[in-house]
Structures are given as C-alpha cells and as structure tokens.
C-alpha cells in the first residue's frame, strides 16, 4: 500500500540536522524500518503526499551562489584597456579646448560600454535558458508506478531508482543494491568507486560518505543498480552544505575571446603608434600647429580602434549556441563552438547515434533452425514463424521446449520493462535497455506469461552487463537448484559454452556445430542485425561466490537472437555532408564487426569494397606506430571497450586530427574528456557522460553533430565578416588625414574627427552586428576544416578589408569630397576654406561616400566568394534592418540641425547624395567581379 498522508517524519528530522537518536533507524534499520521512519513504503509516496511534501520541504535545489554582481560587471565594461584609451582621448579633447570632441568621445565610450554590458547580459540569460532545456531527471516510484520526475521535485520519502551512470540527486538510504559502486569524489576527493549495499549498519552514525548504505547527492553511480529512499533534499544534503564553496566556477574565456583580446590589444597599440607617428609628421612635415596635430593623432587612434569588436564576438558565439540548441545540439562551453568548426574527424558509436536504438527481434537460430519473427517496434503484436516445406507457420511453444527455454532466458536475464505510452494507448515504450526491451517483446510474441515465469524462477543474483565482458548473467532458483542465464556477444559467449540444447537434451557442442552457429551469426550480422547469444547453466550445489569467472563457464548454448536497429533516416545525408566538408567519420562500436560494417555501408561511412575492421583485440596487439599507420585507411573499430576508445581518440589526435567523439556510458567519460569535442547523448546518455561532454545531443542523432559543425563554422565565418566590415571603413577614415598631411595642408581635412566617430560608433554598428547573424553560407560544408592555429585576422582577411574594400571606400570618400568642391568651382577656386558652409558640405560628402560604400560593403561581406544574388537579399533580414538604420542615421547627421552643429555637417543637395550613393552599387559590382574570378579559379582548380 502506498504511504498514507499521515507520515511519521517530523520536520526537524529531515530538514534540520539529523540528531543521533533519529539517525539510528536510517543507518541501522531494516528496509521496513527505513520506510516507516520516512513515512514511505516500497510502492513509494502517493502523488498527493509527494506534492504536499514538496510544499513543506521546498524544491530540491541549491541556493544560487552570488557570483559577480551586475554592478561590478557593468563597471568592468568601462575599465578595460580600450575604454581607458577612449577616456584618455576624451580628456585630451578637453585639454585641447575642444569640449565637443571630449564629450563625444566619452559619450561614445559610455554607449559602447553599455552596449557591451547589454550583450553580456543577453548572452548570460541565453545560457541560463539553455540549461532549462535539459533538466536533470530522476526515476522514482510513486503510488506503485515508475515515473521520471525533474530532480528538483524529489522529496523526503521518495523511492529513487539508481542506475549505472546516474548522478544522485538527494541523500538517500539504500534499500536494494546489485553490485552498486558509487563515485564520491565530489565529496571526498577520492576517485576510486566505493561499494554500497542495503545492509543495516551495525551502529547508528550520522549518514555520510563513509556510510555503506547511503548514497549522497552529487555523487554518481559508477556501476550496478539499486533503490534508495530519500531522507534529505536541497540545501539539507551533504552536498548542499558544501555547495556554496563549489558553485562559484569561473568561466574561462574561450580561445577565440582570448585571440580577440590579443588582436584588440595589438590594434590598440598599433593605432596609438600610428597616432603618434601622425602627430610627429603633421607637426614636422606639414607644419601643422601641435594643437591640431594632437587632434589628428586622436583621429587616427579613434579611426583604427575596433570599438565594438569584443562584445560582438561574444554575441556571435552566444547566438551560435542558441542556433545550435534549436538544431538539437546543446553546447556547454562557448569555446566548443569554435572547436566544432575545426573538427576533422568524428568518432561515432553505432547504437543510438547512427541507429535509432529501437530494437526489434527479426531472426532466431535455435536448435539448428532459423526462425523468423514478425511485427514492428515495441508493440507485442506478431509471431515467431518456422519455415517448413509448406511455407511459414507459427511455432507452437508447448511442443518446442528449446525455443521455450530461449524465451525464458530472454525474460529472466532482463531488467527492462515495457508499457503502453498512455493507459489504453496502442503505442509501446521501453523503460530500460532497448536491447532487453526487444527480448521482452519477443517473449510476448511467443505468448509466454512473463509474470508467471518471473514468479516461478525468483532471481537470486545479477552480474550486470558490462561493456568489457559484453554479457549479462542472472542466477535464479529453479525448484531446488540454481540456474544461471547468460546473454551477450556471440563469439565471446560461445567460447564459454561446451554443450548445446537440442530437442530438450544437452548435447556436446562439436566443432562443426560451433562453426554452424558462427556462420548463422555472420549471416545475421551481414544483414545488419545485432546478434546476442543466449546460454544457461545449472549451477552445482558446491559453487560458492558470485564471481563472473565462477558462474559464466561450462555453459549450455541455447540460441541466437538477431535484432534490427534501423539507422536514423537523416544519417546518410549527414555523412555525405561530412565527406564534402573534409571531415572523416569513423565508427567505434562495441558491436560485432560484420553488423557494424553492414550499418556503416548503409549510411555511407564505408565505401571501399573491402573496409578494414579492427577488433579491440587486434587493436591491443598493435603498437602506437602501427595503429597510426592504420588510421589512414577506411577503418571500423568493432568489439572495442571504452578504454580502447580512449586510445583511438589519442591516436587520432596525435595524427593531427581535431577529434569529436560520441559516448553515452560511464566508461566513455575519459574519452569524452580527452576529445577536442566530447559529445554525449541527451536521451540514452548517462549523467556522467553528459557531465564530461562539451556538447549534448538532445535527439541522440548523428546528424545533429554535423549541424553543429556547420553552425561552428558559420560562427567563425561571421566573426570574420564582422571584422572585415569594421576594418573597411577604418582605411577610408584614415586616408583623409593622409591627404591633409601629404598635401601639406593644401587639401583641408576632408573628414572631421566627430565624423569618424559617427561612422565607427554610429552608422557601422547595426550592420556589423547583423553580419554576426548570417545563416550558414551554401558552401560552408564544402570546404576542408580550418586549422585551429589559423588566426582570426590573417593576411588575406586584412588585405581584403584594408586594400580592397578599404581602397574602394577611400576612392569613394575622396571622390565625393572632390566632386562637391568641383561643383563649387574647384580647381579655379581654391578648395573650400575651413569652417565655411562649403567646407562643411564637402566633409559631409566624404562622410556620405563612406556610409554609402559601407551600405554596399555590408552586402558584399555576407560571403567571401558567393554572389549576393545567389545568397538571396532576404536571407538575413537583420542586414536590411542594419542598412535602414545606417541610412537613417546618416540622414539625421546631415539634416537634423542639432547634429549638424555637433558633427560639422551641412545639408546636401539630392544630386550630391546621388553621386555619393552611386558608390553603393559600384562596390557591389566590383566585388561581384572579384567573387566571380575566385569562383572561376576554384572551379578550374577543382577540375584539374
Ligand atoms: P555501440 O558501442 O555502438 O553503442 P553496442 O551497443 O553494441 O554498440 P555495447 O553496449 O558496448 O556496444 O555492447 C557490446 C556488445 O555487448 C553488444 O554488441 C552485444 O553483443 C552485447 N550486449 C549489449 N547489450 C547487452 C545486454 N543488455 N545484455 C547482454 N549483452 C549485451
């Protein structure tokens, strides 16, 4: 009977520190006493009671640590190197009796800092929202039913199920345990797993890591399984008490952010250097007075410092992370986004990642006969058919004791349960391992009464499945003997058999029969089936101890079970995408080589007529250099253990690959950590695997890794686009100062400092950010991966920004300036005198020329070689918004009187504006020509 609402727990017992008197039943009590103390029972709490306790004891969460206050974060945006430089520049403006300039530079600094803070805030909020996508869940028994609930809804008295790889979410007393080992390193620092069991302790002490019958929140189940009754949640757990110490994790800046910091520092130093050089040249060569020289120097510094760069990079990364989440890839660290873009090999496992992990038994091999199983999915509808001269006929279990024994073994050596998705629904789901679920469905198709079997043969012991042994065994009482049922990998299990069951009798397993079994196994495997061998052994009465080596030997072979696990439909296309993108895909599986090869061929991972299948044993026999040599071939790793997976990851890294590796089990954790990108499965993955990974796939699908790689490449490309765009205008802003200098003042300064600022921190801002939101470019997955060492701003990128776009923009700016002067009578009339309306109109034209070319450039920067017309103008609407804002701001700068006086502008005639804006399509046409040449050259290279 489920626990009634009248629980016997007193608040202080559970929510306060446990007094020694009350600890006793928890530590020394039998399971029944523990249930009684906590007001629960083996069927768990009633739903209403659980809800009531949740109100009473609160959610099972830890109080949030304070972290850095928002005020400190806000202030830090005004105190970094670049901000300090701008504060100083403003001050110089004041000292040089140019308060307008001083105010403007400071204002710019304030706007820039506030903007950075806003981006930081948004990125943090986005990260918090992502966490909600993958809430921790716990399987509990309530009102007699198993259900998965969010960990924060756990309450004292809940009966919690513990499975291998689970992270324990509350402190609980163990009431059932099978080979349970727990890693308590979070609490004790000791990484060796500790054995736990359900035995009452001899004396009552405070429950802690040393208690053998208690599991504590924050620890993880290394192996085995069990059940435990919760006695403390949230801040009352041992973990909660030390949580405030461990919560303040400092997030390391990503390599890209570090690189950006480096670039910004270099550029800041460089522009300061250029500023100083200009000052000296202006004063010494152009004989400008030092006051004006100062202003020019400031101009150069302000023109070159990429003010919005760092926040825009963080924003691009955060947006990439959000886009990936929408495509089912949850990235835990921003830095992972960049590494993803460099991935050159994906080491993937098979079951669940390439395949759906929805097993259906299709074929059996029992007593030298092949049998076929009908029906699809987990619905227990279908039959087991034998083939005779008259075709297929259902098998009669009452007369086929050999098949009956196989099905009994399938039911007993099994921990899965299956149930309809909803009461009365026709869809079925499996709780537990899908392989075992499929075996239960098989038994139902054979019309076997599972409950009756389980009652008739009570389980005495279990040797849980391990990927190293590749099998599982359970021991049962059968009348007055004990019998062991074993199921596992075929070749490995067959080695332990010396007899076979035929026609109800045990017969010596001859060499010929072994070959027959292996041939059947290979036949099943070649058609992509996952094959398990089933065996049994009546244990001699004298046998003591429950070690696998004592029990799993001298077995009687019962049969083979071949199950289908179809590949995800999207995988083949994703594999093809990888191949086009220069990314290798290599399968590492615990499954049999031929099964692995069949699936690998089906999804296109293997294409060569003969692929090399390297088993774990062969791998162990190779030294590192021979393993390295083997990596260059088309290779599949089969029958591997998690430790071997780690060796393979290391070998690929040594060969210079950037490795992404998938994993789901506890034992995969070292490989996941070692890889450049560890990818855990959100569905079938254990909590331990998820914690060790850099990325979690919400849909367990290989295709999502490839989507994430695409996004990773896109983010990097977008940051580059942003950088190019920002640097374009820097060149055009510097040229007017050069013109002034080298004409020795004959050409009055074509662009004032305030106008430089209006571009860098006004008109350029929104279009630049819009480039950070560019969707993946069509060819992005048709290029080889980028090297991790390649800097963000390499020479081709800088050359394109400064010498191509920069040059066109400079010509646009200067020609606009001269055009207006020519309209006013130049060259017979000298260039407009400084301060006059004509001069202000001329500088306004320079400004308009720069802004107009930046309008065209934002379209050009969307791709480095694809035509803007093939991308489609509407595919990044933010760019259109950016252009709208850019042009509107220019309009305000030119026509709004208050801004005219601040920025030295004057209204322009429509024909003048038309001249400046003709440069927008001009730069697009020039760049389309450049892109066309690149595409032609690439096409020629590809053909040769
Ligand atoms: P992958 O590594 O690609 O996910 P896998 O699921 O086959 O493939 P493992 O889980 O390591 O890899 O299993 C290795 C082998 O152990 C399987 O091929 C199968 O023969 C056997 N096996 C898997 N699950 C069970 C189980 N529940 N009971 C007994 N044997 C099993």
Residue 2 has pLDDT above 70, yes or no: no
Q: How confident is the model at residue 520 (pLDDT cuts 50, 70, 90)?
A: very high
State the closest ligand 1 atom to the C-alpha of 487, by its place in the atom list counted from 1: 29
Q: Is 691 in the pocket of ligand 1 (CB under 6 A)?
A: no
Q: Which atom of ligand 1 is nearest to the CA of 436?
A: 27
For residue 532 and ligand 1, the question of a CB distance below 6 A is answered with yes
Of 260-269, 448-457, 632-641, 735-744, where does mean pLDDT reach its minimum?
260-269
Coil, helix or strand at residue 583 = coil
- Residue 666's pLDDT is 75
Q: What is residue 811's predicted lDDT score, i.e. its pLDDT?
A: 95
Other CB atoms within 10 Å distance of the CB of residue 35: 23
Distance of CA 36 to the CA centre of its chain: 44
* Residues listed for the chain: 944
CA distances (Å), origin 340, targets 344, 787, 933? 9, 11, 30
Which is nearest to 397 in space by CA: 415, 371, 362, 363?
Answer: 371
484 close to 549: Cβ distance less than 8 angstroms: no
Mean pLDDT of 288-302: 74
d(CA 178, CA 163): 10
Residues 337, 344 contacting (CB under 8 angstroms): no
Give the pLDDT band (50/70/90) at residue 12.
Answer: very low
Where do we find the tokens 């006004």?
762
Residue pair 407/446 in contact by the 8 Å Cβ criterion? yes
Residue range 264-277, pLDDT digits in tens: 777 778 878 888 88
The predicted model gives 488-516 an average pLDDT of: 94
**Structure-model confidence comparison of residues 67 and 396, the more confident one:** 396
* Catalytic site positions: 349
- Helix axes of 401-412 and 434-445: crossing angle, nearest 10 degrees: 140
3-state helix, strand, coil in the chain (%, to 5): 50, 20, 30
Q: Sign of dihedral through CA atoms 28, 33, 39, 45? A: positive
Q: Using one digit for the tens of pLDDT, what is the confidence trace for 754-788?
A: 888 788 777 887 888 888 778 887 778 888 888 87
| 67-80 confidence digits (pLDDT tens) | 567 788 788 888 87
Q: How many CB atoms lie within 10 A of CB 506?
A: 14
Rg value, the chain, Cα: 36
- Separation between Cα atoms, residue 395 and residue 406, nearest integer Å: 13
More confident residue, 423 or 603: 603
| Closest residue by CA, ligand 1 atom 16 | 470
Cα 151 to ligand 1 centre (Å)? 29
**435 C-beta closer than 6 A to ligand 1:** yes
E runs forming strands in 415-502? 417-420, 428-431, 459-466, 471-478, 481-489, 497-502
Check residue 310 and give its pLDDT.
Answer: 64
Virtual torsion, Cα 276, 278, 281, 282, nearest 10 deg = -110
List the strands of the sheet with 329-331, edge to edge. 329-331, 695-697, 677-681, 659-663, 345-348, 584-588, 635-638, 612-615
- Element containing residue 929 per DSSP (H, E): helix 919-943
Quick one: tokens of 407? 């099905």
Closest CA to 328 of 685, 7, 747, 682: 682
Using an 8 Å Cβ cutoff, are 234 and 287 in contact? no
Give the pLDDT band of residue 8 (cuts 50, 70, 90): very low
Question: 363 CB less than 6 Å from ligand 1?
Answer: no
> How far is the first Cα of the chain from the last one, in angstroms, to the nearest whole number?
78
- Inter-residue contact 613 to 741 (CB < 8 Å): no
- Report percent pLDDT > 70 for the chain: 89
User: In the predicted model, is pLDDT for residue 645 greater than 70?
Assistant: yes
Between the CA of 352 and the centroid of ligand 1 the distance, in Å, is 11
Q: Is the CB of 487 under 6 A from ligand 1?
A: yes
Give the pLDDT confidence score for residue 207 in this predicted structure: 78
CB 78 within 8 A of CB 275: no
pLDDT of amino acid 131: 61
The pLDDT score that the predictor gives to residue 443 is 92
- Pick the closest to residue 275 from 306, 299, 254, 256 (CA basis): 299
Greater confidence, 208 or 805?
805
Other Cβ atoms within 10 Å of 244 Cβ, number: 14
Q: How high is the pLDDT of residue 794?
A: 79
Q: Give the residue whose CA is nearest to atom 9 of ligand 1.
A: 590
How does pLDDT run across 362-375, given as a tens digit for each residue? 999 999 999 999 98
User: In angstroms, what is the span from residue 827 Cα to ligand 1's centroid?
Assistant: 86
- Mean pLDDT in residue range 171-191: 83
272 three-state secondary structure = helix
467 pocket-lining for ligand 1 (C-beta < 6 Å):
yes
Pocket test for ligand 1, best of 225, 488, 522, 689 (most atoms within 8 A of CB): 488
Alpha carbon nearest to ligand 1 atom 31, residue: 488
| pLDDT tens-digit readout, 816-870 | 999 998 888 776 666 666 668 888 899 999 999 999 999 999 999 998 888 888 8
Give the per-residue pLDDT at 311: 62
pLDDT number for residue 249: 36
More confident residue, 428 or 640: 640
Q: Which residue has the tokens 């502008």?
A: 905
Tell me, yes or no, if the pTM score tops 0.85: no
Confidence of residue 50 (pLDDT cuts 50, 70, 90): very high
Quick check: CB of 166 below 6 Å from ligand 1?
Answer: no
How many Å separate Cα 734 from the centre of its chain?
43
Lowest-confidence region among 202-211, 232-241, 271-280, 374-383: 202-211
Judged by DSSP in three states, 512 sits in helix
For a mutational test of ligand 1's pocket, the pick from 532, 565, 617, 680, i.e. the residue with the most ligand atoms closer than 8 A to its C-beta, is: 532
Dist. CA 637 → ligand 1 center (Å): 14
Residue 644 beta carbon below 6 angstroms from any ligand 1 atom: no
Query: Average pLDDT in the 246-255 region?
Result: 46
Q: What is the pLDDT of residue 421?
A: 64
DSSP secondary structure, 171-226, as one string: EEEEEEEEEEEEE-HHHHS--S-EE---PPPSS----STT-TTEE-TT-EEEEEEE
437 lines ligand 1 (CB under 6 A): no
Per-residue confidence at 208, pLDDT binned at 50, 70, 90? confident
- Assess whether the C-beta atom of 116 lies below 6 angstroms from ligand 1: no
What distances in angstroms separate CA 808 from CA 322, 811, 854, one per listed residue? 36, 5, 10
Bridging pattern class, strands 612-615 and 677-681: unpaired
Average pLDDT over the chain, rounded to an integer:
84
Determine phi and psi for 204, rounding to 5 degrees: -85, 110
Residues whose CB falls within 8 Å of the CB of residue 711, separated by 6 or more in sequence, listed in order: 320, 323, 324, 327, 329, 337, 340, 776
pLDDT in tens, 85-139: 778 878 877 876 777 778 877 887 787 788 778 767 766 666 666 666 656 788 8
The runs of H, that is alpha helices, within 789-909 are 795-798, 806-823, 837-860, 868-871, 877-895, 897-903
Assess whether the C-beta atom of 591 lies below 6 angstroms from ligand 1: yes
**Any ligand 1 atom below 6 A from CB of 356:** no
SS3 state of residue 489? strand
Measured in angstroms, how far is the CA atom of residue 455 from the centroid of ligand 1?
A: 27
Give the position, in ligand 1's atom list, of the atom nearest the Cα of 489. Answer: 20
| Helices 255-284 and 334-342: angle between axes, nearest 10 degrees | 90
Find out whether the beta carbon of 561 lies less than 6 Å from any atom of ligand 1.
no
* Cβ partners under 8 Å of residue 901, min gap 6: none
Q: What is the pLDDT of residue 701?
A: 85
Contact predicate 398/602, CB 8 Å: no
Give the pair of three-digit tokens for residue 493: 């299990």
Query: Following DSSP, what letter does each residue of 759-804 receive, concatenated?
Result: IIIIITHHHHHHHTTPPPPGGGGGSPPPPTTS-SS-HHHHIIIIII
Residue 161 CA to ligand 1 centre (angstroms) = 22
DSSP state of 670: H
Residue 472 reports pLDDT greater than 60: yes
Checking DSSP bridges between strand 159-162 and strand 220-232, what pairing results, if any?
antiparallel
The answer on pLDDT for 540 being more than 80 is yes
If you search the block for the tokens 């599982």, which residue do you land on? 472
Q: Which amino acid residue places its CA nearest to atom 19 of ligand 1?
A: 489
Write out pLDDT tens, residues 899-922: 888 888 999 999 999 999 999 999
- Grouping H, G, I as helix, E, B as strand and the rest as coil, residue 345 is strand
Ligand 1 centroid distance, CA of 852 (Å): 63
Q: Tell me how far the alpha carbon of residue 937 lies from the centroid of ligand 1, in angstroms.
A: 50
Closest residue by CA, ligand 1 atom 20: 489
C-alpha 623 to ligand 1 mean position (Å): 26
With contact defined as beta carbons under 8 Å apart, do 222 and 181 qualify?
yes
**Nearest-atom index, ligand 1, CA of 349:** 3
Beta bridge partners of 586: 347
Q: Running DSSP on this structure, what letter comes out for residue 252?
A: P
pLDDT tens per residue across span 699-722: 888 888 888 999 888 888 888 888
Nearest to 40, CA basis, from 229, 234, 232, 236? 229
pLDDT one-digit tens code per residue, 612-623 = 999 999 999 999
pLDDT at 626: 92
Q: Whose CA is nearest to atom 30 of ligand 1?
A: 488
Identify the burial level of 240 via C-beta atoms within 10 angstroms of its C-beta, where 0-12 means exposed, 13-18 middle and 19 or more buried: buried
Q: What is the pLDDT of residue 426?
A: 63
For residue 827, whether the previous peptide bond is cis, meaning omega lies within 30 degrees of 0, is yes
CA-closest residue to ligand 1 atom 4: 351
> Quick one: pLDDT at residue 792?
74
Measured in angstroms, how far is the CA atom of residue 590 from the centroid of ligand 1? 6
CB 527 within 8 A of CB 598: yes
The residue written with tokens 């042009």 in the block is 887
Between residues 21 and 701, which one has the greater pLDDT? 701
Q: Is the CB of 164 under 6 A from ligand 1?
A: no
Does ligand 1 come within 6 angstroms of the Cβ of 589?
Answer: yes
Q: Tell me phi and psi for residue 544, to 5 degrees.
A: -120, 160
The set of residues, in sequence order, having a beta carbon less than 8 Å from that of 600 and lying 6+ positions away, is 587, 606, 611, 636
- Please determine, for residue 176, whether its predicted confidence score (pLDDT) is greater than 80: yes
């Amino acid at each position: 009977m489920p626990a009634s609402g009248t629980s016997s727990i007193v608040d202080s017992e559970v929510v306060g520190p446990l007094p020694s008197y009350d600890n006793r039943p928890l530590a020394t009590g039998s399971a029944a006493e523990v249930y009684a103390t906590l007001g629960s029972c083996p069927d768990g709490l009633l739903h209403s009671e659980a809800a009531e306790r949740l109100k009473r004891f609160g959610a099972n969460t830890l109080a949030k640590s304070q972290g850095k206050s928002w005020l400190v974060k806000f202030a830090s945006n005004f105190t970094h190197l670049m901000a300090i430089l701008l504060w100083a520049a403003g001050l110089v403006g004041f000292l040089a009796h140019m308060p307008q300039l001083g105010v403007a530079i400071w204002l710019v600094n304030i706007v820039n800092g506030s903007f950075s803070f806003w981006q930081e805030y948004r990125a943090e909020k986005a990260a918090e929202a992502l966490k909600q996508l993958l809430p921790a869940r716990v399987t509990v028994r309530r009102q007699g039913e198993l259900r998965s609930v969010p960990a924060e809804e756990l309450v004292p008295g809940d009966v919690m199920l513990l499975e291998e790889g689970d992270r324990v979410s509350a402190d609980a007393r163990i009431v059932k345990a099978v080979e349970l080992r727990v890693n308590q390193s979070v609490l004790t620092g000791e990484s060796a797993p500790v054995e736990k069991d359900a035995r009452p302790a001899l004396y009552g002490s405070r429950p802690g890591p040393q208690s053998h019958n208690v599991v504590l929140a924050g620890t993880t189940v290394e192996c085995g399984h069990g059940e435990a009754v919760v006695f403390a949640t949230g801040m009352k757990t041992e973990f909660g008490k030390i949580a405030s110490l461990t919560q303040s994790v400092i997030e390391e800046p990503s390599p890209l952010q570090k690189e950006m910091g480096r670039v910004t520092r270099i550029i800041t130093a460089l522009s300061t250097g250029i500023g100083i050089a200009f000052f000296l040249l202006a004063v010494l060569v152009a004989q400008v007075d030092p006051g004006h020289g100062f202003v020019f120097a400031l101009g150069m510094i302000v023109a070159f410092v990429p003010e919005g760069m760092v926040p825009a990079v963080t924003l691009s990364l955060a947006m990439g992370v959000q886009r990936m989440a929408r495509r089912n890839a949850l990235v835990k660290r921003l830095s992972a986004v960049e590494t993803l873009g460099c991935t050159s090999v994906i080491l993937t496992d098979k079951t669940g990642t390439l395949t759906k992990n929805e097993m259906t038994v299709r074929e059996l091999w029992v007593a030298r006969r092949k049998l076929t199983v009908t029906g699809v999915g987990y619905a227990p509808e279908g039959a087991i058919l034998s083939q005779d001269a008259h075709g297929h006929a259902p098998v009669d279990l009452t007369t086929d004791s050999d098949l009956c024994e196989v099905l009994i073994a399938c039911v007993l050596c099994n921990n899965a349960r299956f149930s309809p998705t909803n009461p009365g629904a026709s869809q079925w789901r499996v709780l537990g391992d899908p392989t075992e679920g499929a075996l239960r469905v098989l038994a139902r198709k054979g019309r076997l009464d599972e409950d009756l079997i389980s009652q008739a043969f009570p389980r005495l012991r279990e040797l849980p499945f391990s990927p190293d042994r590749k099998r599982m065994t359970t021991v049962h009482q059968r009348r007055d003997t004990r019998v062991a049922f074993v199921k596992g990998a075929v070749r490995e299990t067959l080695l332990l058999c010396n007899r076979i069951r035929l026609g109800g009798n045990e017969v010596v397993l001859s060499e010929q029969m072994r070959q027959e079994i292996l041939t059947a196994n290979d036949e099943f495997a070649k058609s992509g089936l996952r094959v398990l061998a089933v065996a049994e052994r009546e244990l001699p009465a004298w046998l003591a101890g429950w070690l696998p080596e004592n029990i799993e030997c001298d077995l009687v072979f019962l049969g083979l079970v071949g199950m289908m696990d179809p590949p995800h439909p999207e995988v083949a296309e994703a594999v093809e995408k990888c191949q086009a993108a220069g990314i290798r895909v290599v399968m590492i599986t615990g499954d049999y080589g031929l099964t692995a090869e069949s699936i690998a061929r089906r999804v296109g991972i293997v294409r060569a007529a003969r692929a090399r299948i390297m088993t774990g044993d062969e791998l162990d026999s190779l030294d590192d250099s021979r393993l390295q040599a083997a990596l260059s071939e088309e290779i599949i790793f089969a029958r591997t253990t998690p430790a071997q997976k780690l060796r393979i990851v290391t070998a690929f890294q040594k060969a210079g690959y950037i490795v992404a590796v998938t994993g789901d089990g506890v034992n995969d954790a070292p490989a996941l950590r070692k890889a450049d990108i560890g990818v855990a499965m959100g569905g079938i993955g254990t909590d331990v695997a998820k914690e060790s990974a850099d990325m979690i796939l919400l849909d367990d699908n290989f295709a999502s890794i490839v989507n994430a790689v695409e996004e990773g490449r896109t983010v990097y490309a977008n940051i580059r686009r942003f950088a190019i765009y920002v640097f374009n205008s820097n060149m055009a802003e510097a040229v007017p100062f050069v013109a002034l200098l080298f004409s020795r003042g004959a050409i009055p300064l074509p662009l004032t400092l305030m106008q430089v600022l209006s571009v860098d921190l006004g008109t350029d801002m929104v279009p630049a950010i819009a480039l950070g939101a560019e969707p993946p470019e069509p060819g992005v997955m048709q290029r080889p991966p980028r090297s991790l060492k390649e800097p963000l701003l390499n020479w081709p990128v800088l050359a394109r920004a400064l010498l191509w776009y920069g040059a066109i923009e400079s010509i646009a700016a200067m020609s606009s300036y001269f055009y207006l002067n020519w309209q006013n009578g130049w060259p017979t009339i000298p260039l407009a005198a400084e301060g006059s309306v004509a001069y202000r109109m001329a500088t306004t034209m320079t400004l308009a020329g720069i802004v107009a070319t930046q309008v065209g450039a934002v379209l050009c920067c969307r791709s480095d070689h694809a035509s803007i017309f093939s991308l489609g103008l509407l595919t990044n609407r933010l760019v259109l918004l950016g252009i709208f804002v850019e042009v509107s701001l220019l309009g305000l700068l030119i026509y709004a009187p208050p801004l005219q006086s601040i920025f030295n502008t004057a209204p322009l005639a429509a024909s003048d504006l038309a001249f400046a804006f003709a440069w927008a399509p001009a730069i697009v046409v020039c760049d389309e020509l450049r892109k066309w040449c690149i595409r032609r050259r690439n096409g020629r290279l590809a053909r040769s």
